[in-house]
Amino acid sequence: MATDCDFLVIGAGVAGLRAAIELAKAGSVLVIAKDSLRESSSEYAQGGIAVALSDDDEVALHEQDTLYAGDGLCNQTAVHTLVEERARRIFRI
């Protein structure tokens, strides 16, 4: 296994892979994970994304829904940022 790289990304979920895609523009990237590369929450995600994509939808509703599903564990500021920025970012590969 090659271990020389410009960037080391720890974690092969959606966050790590997104970072790897961006970093690949600037150099070689090595992605590592603690188990198999496919063993992550991203692999188990059921496909629903809290985002307001149409004019008859509202960011605030997705924010409330996410906080409700989080059952008090969510960072409210992080949830707000996530739900608000998703519409702009969802179509990026």
Ligand X SMILES: Cc1cc2nc3c(=O)[nH]c(=O)nc-3n(C[C@H](O)[C@H](O)[C@H](O)COP(=O)(O)OP(=O)(O)OC[C@H]3O[C@@H](n4cnc5c(N)ncnc54)[C@H](O)[C@@H]3O)c2cc1C
Q: How far apart are CA 35 and CA 93, in angstroms?
A: 25
Q: How far apart are CA 67 and CA 3, in angstroms?
A: 40
Q: Is 8 in the site for ligand X (CB under 6 A)?
A: no
Q: Is 12 in the site for ligand X (CB under 6 A)?
A: yes
Single out the residue of 1, 44, 73, 91 in contact with ligand X (rule: CB under 6 A).
44
Nearest Cα neighbor of 17 from 34, 2, 32 is 32
Q: Is 49 in the site for ligand X (CB under 6 A)?
A: yes
Q: What residues make contact with ligand X under the rule CB under 6 A? A: 10-16, 32-35, 39-42, 44-49
